[in-house]
Structure 1
Amino acid sequence: MNYKILLVDDHLVVKAGVSIILNNEIENLSIAYSSDYFETIHLIKINQYDLIVLDINIPGGKSTAMIAEIKSYLPNVKILMFSAYEEESYALRYIHAGADGYLNKLSGEDKIVEAVKSIMTSGKYLTSTIINKLNDNHRNNEPVNPFDKLSNRELEIAKLLVKGEGNLEISNCLGIQMSTVSTYKNRVFEKLKINNLVELIEKYKLFYD
């Protein structure tokens, strides 16, 4: 029986390359293709797949929300995130959302084959980096999303800062003193382990874009 894979990527070269690598190394594969998220949803509504190799940054994509939506149509399908984004920053976010593995596009041919074989046999592909990160978070009782550590007011202020609002605008918007805004801002930076607004924006995009 063929193991059915849907390879989702908007770059033809990537799809062709990965397909050649997998077909050369793994027997009995049936590989289909999709170039955007809308086409992906259409295909999974009318076909069954064992594994979806899913690029994070595809046209029409919905970040981590794609995982739950795909599994609402195919509850037993495995999802391997395939992205150029660095593993350490992005992998946990998608694993936490329900993905079964995360593979960097810069990985060599052997890693691509290893990832697919691992999911075929065990249902998961977790590198040592991901496992160590998961263990660290569990040991330190750290949430996957660091913004979960913020109070409602701190998160509210963080969002306003990300939108480009200054202390004065936030003070007027929330009806609090500017000194209070500064206090909350310092707490946000401390809890997120960041030093400036640029780092706040970058971290926020990781978890909410």
Structure 2
Amino acid sequence: MESYLNILVVDDYLVVRKGIELIINESYPNANVYFAENYTEAIEIIKIVAIDLVVLDVIINGFEDIKIMENIRKHKKDIKILVFSCHEEELYGARYIKNGADGFLNKDCSEATLVEAIHSTLKTGSYYSSNVKEKLKKIKVNKTKSNPIDRLSNREFEVAKMLIEGSGNLEIANRLNIQMSTVSTYKIRIFEKLDVNNIVALSKLFKVDVN
């Protein structure tokens, strides 16, 4: 396998960072593994180290930044990004890939699957499970039949997730650094786009694959 790789693991849990490091070292003994527990640290490392692959959790300290892939590539265009998340693969995998990830993997995977995903992303430039491949294919062939959640913008998607998690308008405004009136506007747009009128109905769309 590859030698002298620089791999950055971005996760706010030490046990996850160290676990990934052990798995990487078994398959890539000569790899240099760097760690970041937040996005600011990740960007600083990418600025000074020629990172080949980022194993990235898109939720750090309870906050998701869907634009982090775009921000990373502002500093290194050809860097590979494998999202490693607790999110459901069928619901979120395609969205992250559409927003710049080269692959998506759920944290409930086996060690062998993680190794496969890392190897595939490094060797071929991408890693798509069969579920994600099918989802991307459906979106490409006929967008009208894709999950309705795909109609949301990235910011609307973030707000919708916070709403179903129980966050109020003030909390959402503080977390996203926006006005409460803006949160209300997003909520109206979300309900209109998804044709729902309450949080319970919204939550069902996020839990069920409607394809």
TM-score where L is the length of structure 1: 0.72
CA distance in 2, matches of 1:79, 1:41: 13
Structure (1 or 2) with the larger CA radius of gyration: 1
Report the aligned-residue RMSD.
3.2
Shift, 1:21, TM fit: 1.2
CA distance in 1, matches of 2:48, 2:141: 43
Q: Secondary structure at the match of 1:89?
A: helix
CA distance in 2, matches of 1:102, 1:16: 20
CA distance in 2, matches of 1:74, 1:55: 18
In the alignment, residue 72 of structure 1 is paired with which amino acid? K
Structure 2 residue runs without a partner (length 5+) = 170-183, 207-211
CA distance in 2, matches of 1:198, 1:102: 27
1:132-143 superposed matches below 5 A: 132-142=134-144
1:102 aligns with 2:104: yes
Are the counterparts in 1 of residues 149 and 205 from structure 2 also a CA contact under 8 Å? no
Residue 45 (structure 2) aligns with: 43
Residue 67 (structure 2) aligns with: 65
2:12 alignment partner, one of 10, 13, 30: 10
Shift, 1:105, TM fit: 0.7
1:60-82 CA-partner distances (Å, limit 9, x unpaired): 95521101000000111001101
1:126 alignment partner, one of 128, 138, 162: 128
TM-score where L is the length of structure 2: 0.71
In the alignment, residue 102 of structure 1 is paired with which amino acid? F
Are the counterparts in 2 of residues 54 and 81 from structure 1 also a CA contact under 8 Å? yes
Aligned residues: 175
**In percent, how many aligned pairs have the same letter?**
38
In the alignment, residue 116 of structure 1 is paired with which amino acid? I
Are the counterparts in 1 of residues 138 and 145 from structure 2 also a CA contact under 8 Å? no
1:22 aligns with 2:29: no
